[in-house]
């Protein structure tokens, strides 16, 4: 992620993480490298959690009843056909995150291949000690194993309006090196 603040030098936050699963199926993350030169924004644990959740939005059949889904139409791109839907939460429960934006679904196998939007959440505490503002993110998925679509890149670019001033942000997340669970 790169950040540019009014009157200050741009900075960056770089993180490389190996993600896997333990024998119980729990997600395990191992930080391989991290560096930070941002002077105008602080990267918090909540920010990192939001990056992860915003980059990998999942809308399961159990959650679909919590959303308003509107069919926008069809699109063609790179020899693929998509159904396009706008998605937004019907009501928000404090402490839970919801995807709000647009999804592109492959016509042939009904898999989500692209999402564009943000994570929406209702805060329990209206008196915030610090601001956590997220830019909209576009995530692209590719067929990794010839059958399933996995997220491979996410990008968020925009100006975040904090009470202390505006921050230009360019966030890029790349997901690579997928391997089947239980295989080397």
Q: Give the pLDDT confidence score for residue 128 in this predicted structure.
A: 45
What is the rounded distance in angstroms from the CA atom of residue 82 to the CA atom of residue 53?
23
Q: 97-106 and 137-143 as β-strands: parallel, antiparallel, unpaired?
A: unpaired
**Span 154-180, mean pLDDT?**
79
Pick from 57-66, 70-79, 119-128, 142-151: least confident:
119-128
What is the rounded distance in angstroms from the CA atom of residue 118 to the CA atom of residue 139?
11
Q: Give the pLDDT confidence score for residue 142 in this predicted structure.
A: 87
Q: How does residue 127 score in pLDDT terms, banded at 50, 70 and 90?
A: very low
The side-by-side arrangement of strands in the sheet containing 80-89 is 27-36, 11-21, 2-5, 165-174, 149-162, 137-143, 112-121, 97-106, 80-89, 67-77
């Amino acid at each position: 992620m790169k950040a540019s603040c009014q009157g200050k030098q741009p900075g960056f936050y770089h993180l490389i993480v190996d993600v896997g699963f333990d024998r119980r199926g729990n997600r395990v993350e191992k930080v391989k490298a991290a560096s930070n030169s941002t002077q105008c924004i602080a990267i918090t644990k909540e920010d990192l959690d939001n990056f992860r959740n915003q980059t990998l939005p999942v809308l399961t059949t159990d959650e679909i009843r919590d959303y308003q889904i509107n069919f926008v139409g069809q699109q063609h791109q790179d020899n693929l056909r998509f159904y396009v839907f706008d998605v937004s939460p019907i009501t928000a429960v404090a402490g839970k995150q919801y995807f709000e934006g647009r999804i592109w679904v492959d016509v042939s196998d009904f898999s989500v291949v692209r999402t564009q939007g943000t994570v929406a959440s209702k805060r329990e505490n209206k008196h915030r000690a610090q601001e956590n503002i997220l830019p909209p993110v576009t995530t692209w998925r590719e067929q990794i194993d010839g059958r399933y679509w996995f997220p491979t890149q996410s990008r968020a670019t925009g100006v975040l309006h904090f009470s202390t001033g505006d921050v230009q942000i360019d966030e890029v997340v790349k997901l690579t090196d997928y391997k089947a669970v239980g295989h080397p």
